[in-house]
Amino acid sequence: MFLRSQRRDLMTPRSNVPMRWRDEVSRILITKAELHRRVNSLAAEIERDFAGRELVIVSLLNGTVLFLADLIRRLTLPLRLDFMGVSSYRGGTEARELIFTKELRLDVRGRDLLLVDDILDTGKTLACVLAKLGRLKPKEIKTCVLLDKPSRRVEKVAADYVGFEIPDLFVVGYGLDFAERYRNLPFVGVLHPNVYLNGAESMTSAAK
Ligand code: 5GP
Ligand code: MG
């Protein structure tokens, strides 16, 4: 669901991008304040829905780091945390094959799971991870994503908790990267075409 305040944010003019990032970010899509408010309300929803239960949070690396840190410090219910490493974007804006770079360590059999990811795009990542987690026989799996691009969906998968629905744009910041850059931006912004037109190739090798 799109709140009117979120929609207004999509119109944030380019001039709102801090000078430091103007060549690389064409506009801010979701401000730091909007992120803060929405993550608080997501945490409140989760807290309400899982009241009285112990939660195992499985978070997908690396894109969830900022979102997860903000989300879990708002939760007071008992929880355990584990990570899975999944990589689908390798230095570009087009999806490639899914690679597991870190496996789960906690035993999740019979547990209430909350799977956290940064963005739900084609749905291939979530569908694949959900199938993998399902084989471990948890009691229940709920999913939480910061961003959702419903127009790009290929797999029939939806998240139970969605921070913001966004249009089909490649975004960076607040944990989301392009070639491992821009994760540290405190806002979610649209990647400037200059960045990928100038060649992901050189950026990837520069990052090595
Ligand atoms: P899906 O498998 O749903 O197509 O893609 C999910 C993954 O693709 C996300 O976890 C994220 O890593 C990456 N992704 C999809 N859209 C974007 C985007 O707009 N920006 C960034 N930085 N990553 C994206
Ligand atoms: Mg990711």
| Per-residue pLDDT tens over the stretch 114-173 | 999 999 999 999 999 999 999 999 999 999 999 999 999 999 999 999 999 999 999 999
In this structure, which ligand is nearest to the CA of 177?
Answer: 1
**Ordered structural domains, the chain, with CATH:** 4-207 (3.40.50.2020)
Sheet holding 79-87, edge to edge: 99-102, 79-87, 55-61, 112-120, 140-148, 161-165
pLDDT score, position 53:
95
Centre of ligand 2 to C-alpha 119, Å, is 7
pLDDT digits (tens, 9 = 90+) for 46-67: 999 999 999 999 999 999 999 9
pLDDT at 95 over 70: no
Closest ligand 1 atom to 177 CA: 22
Residue 183 main-chain phi, psi, to 5 deg: -65, -25
Residues in the ligand 1 pocket, defined by CB under 6 Å = 63, 88-89, 95, 117-126, 170-172, 176-178
Q: What is the pLDDT of residues 61-90, one digit of tens each?
A: 999 999 999 999 999 999 999 999 998 755
43-55 in b/e form (b: 16+ CB < 10 A) is beebeeebeeeeb
Q: Band of the pLDDT at 94, cuts 50, 70, 90?
A: low
Is it the case that residue 206 has pLDDT exceeding 50?
no
2 falls in which pLDDT band (50, 70, 90)?
very low
Q: What is the pTM of this model?
A: 0.88
Considering every ligand atom shown, identify the ligand nearest to the alpha carbon of residue 182 and give its number.
1
CB 110 within 8 A of CB 104: no
How far apart are the C-alpha atoms of 17 and 182, rounded to whole Å?
13
